[in-house]
């Protein structure tokens, strides 16, 4: 057998093992009635900033939880700490070889540190990377991508896997449009070409424009999810 095809077999094995763990995570989320978002983007597109806006807005209304994935540092988790929601940081550097993504096993490793029974929506902030995270399911209910307008209108064509794998694209940093020559209609066209019909919201995590629409999306998807299964008498609302 050629080298190339045996490598392919190894990768298929890795993804198969990952999918089994992702299913185990999902079973746990379903059990506790936790709706899980896998949030992905290039480095710096605005995931943590949007999470700050989100936690601010949903305070007292939705019980949120955060799983922060990063290669190194707890900088993002530190930024979100002031909101008082449960947060766990999973660094891919120490135990997981500095991977460019979270996989189902890394997420699984962080779960015992979260009170899932008391979390309605868990957002997993993935490692900033436009390629790797898309390959690994972690047990999420839906996948959301933050895309900054500064990245350019050609990116859906150049990195199609990520754009294809998500349920919603949040097109962020709208406030910067006057300073850029990015072609927004062309960006929409390219998005439509790689993922026909994908939902998108144009927003700015800085000014708050469009954030309301994102919050509605989040609450609606949470409401549509199947209710928790409560054999141990845990109650959920
Ligand atoms: N002008 C503008 N800046 C923004 C907006 N959203 C985020 N930023 C800025 O972009 C930079 C990166 O934002 P983060 O929220 O840290 O991005 P991130 O996706 O969490 O980054 P990583 O976790 O490192 O991948 C920060 O300086 C933010 O203040 C926006 O809507 N408009
Ligand atoms: Mg971040």
Which ligand is closest to the CA of 44, given by its number?
1
Q: Which helix (H) or strand (E) holds 31?
A: helix 3-32
- For residue range 165-207, list pLDDT tens digits in order: 999 999 999 999 999 999 999 999 999 999 999 999 999 999 9
What is the gyration radius of the CA atoms in the chain, in angstroms? 18
- In short, whether 176's Cβ falls inside 6 Å of ligand 1 is yes
Asked if the model's pLDDT at residue 226 lies above 90, the reply is: no
DSSP state, residue 122: E
What is the position in ligand 1's atom list of the atom closest to the CA of 204? 31
* Whether the Cβ atoms of residue 161 and residue 130 lie closer than 8 Å to each other: no
* Whether the Cβ atoms of residue 89 and residue 74 lie closer than 8 Å to each other: yes
Rounded to whole angstroms, the Cα distance separating 147 from 185 reads: 15
Bridge partners of 169, per DSSP, are 145, 200
In this predicted structure, what is the pLDDT of residue 125? 98
* Whether the Cβ atoms of residue 128 and residue 47 lie closer than 8 Å to each other: yes
Domains of the chain in sequence order: 2-224 (3.40.50.300)
- For residue range 81-139, list pLDDT tens digits in order: 999 999 999 999 877 788 899 999 999 999 999 999 999 999 999 999 999 999 999 99
For residue 41, report the distance from its CA to the centre of ligand 2, in Å. Answer: 9
Bridge partners of 148, per DSSP, are 172
CB neighbourhood size of 75 (10 A) = 11
In this predicted structure, what is the pLDDT of residue 16? 85
- In short, whether 49's Cβ falls inside 6 Å of ligand 1 is yes
- For residue range 33-85, list pLDDT tens digits in order: 999 999 999 999 999 999 999 999 999 999 999 999 999 999 999 999 999 99
Which ligand is closest to the CA of 53, given by its number?
1
DSSP state, residue 228: P
> To the nearest whole number, what is the mean pLDDT of the chain?
92
């Amino acid at each position: 057998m050629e080298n190339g095809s045996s490598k392919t077999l190894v990768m298929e094995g890795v993804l198969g093992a990952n999918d089994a763990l992702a299913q185990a995570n999902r079973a746990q989320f379903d059990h506790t009635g936790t709706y899980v978002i896998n949030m992905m983007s290039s480095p710096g597109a605005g995931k943590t900033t949007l999470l700050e806006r989100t936690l601010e807005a949903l305070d007292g209304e939705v019980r949120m939880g955060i799983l922060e994935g990063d290669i190194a540092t707890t900088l993002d988790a530190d930024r979100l700490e002031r909101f008082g929601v449960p947060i766990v940081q999973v660094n891919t550097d120490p135990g997981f070889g500095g991977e460019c993504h979270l996989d189902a096993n890394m997420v699984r490793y962080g779960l015992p540190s979260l009170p899932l029974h008391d979390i309605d929506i868990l957002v997993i902030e993935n490692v900033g990377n436009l390629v790797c995270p898309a390959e690994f399911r972690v047990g999420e209910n839906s996948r959301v991508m933050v895309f900054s307008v500064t990245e350019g209108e050609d990116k859906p064509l150049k990195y199609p896997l990520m754009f294809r794998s998500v349920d919603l694209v949040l097109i962020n940093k709208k406030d910067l449009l006057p300073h850029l020559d990015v072609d927004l209609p062309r960006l929409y066209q390219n998005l439509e070409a790689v993922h026909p019909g994908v939902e998108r919201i144009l927003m700015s995590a800085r000014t708050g424009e469009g954030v309301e629409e994102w919050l509605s999306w989040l609450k609606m998807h949470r409401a549509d999810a199947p209710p928790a299964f409560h054999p141990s008498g845990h109650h959920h609302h």
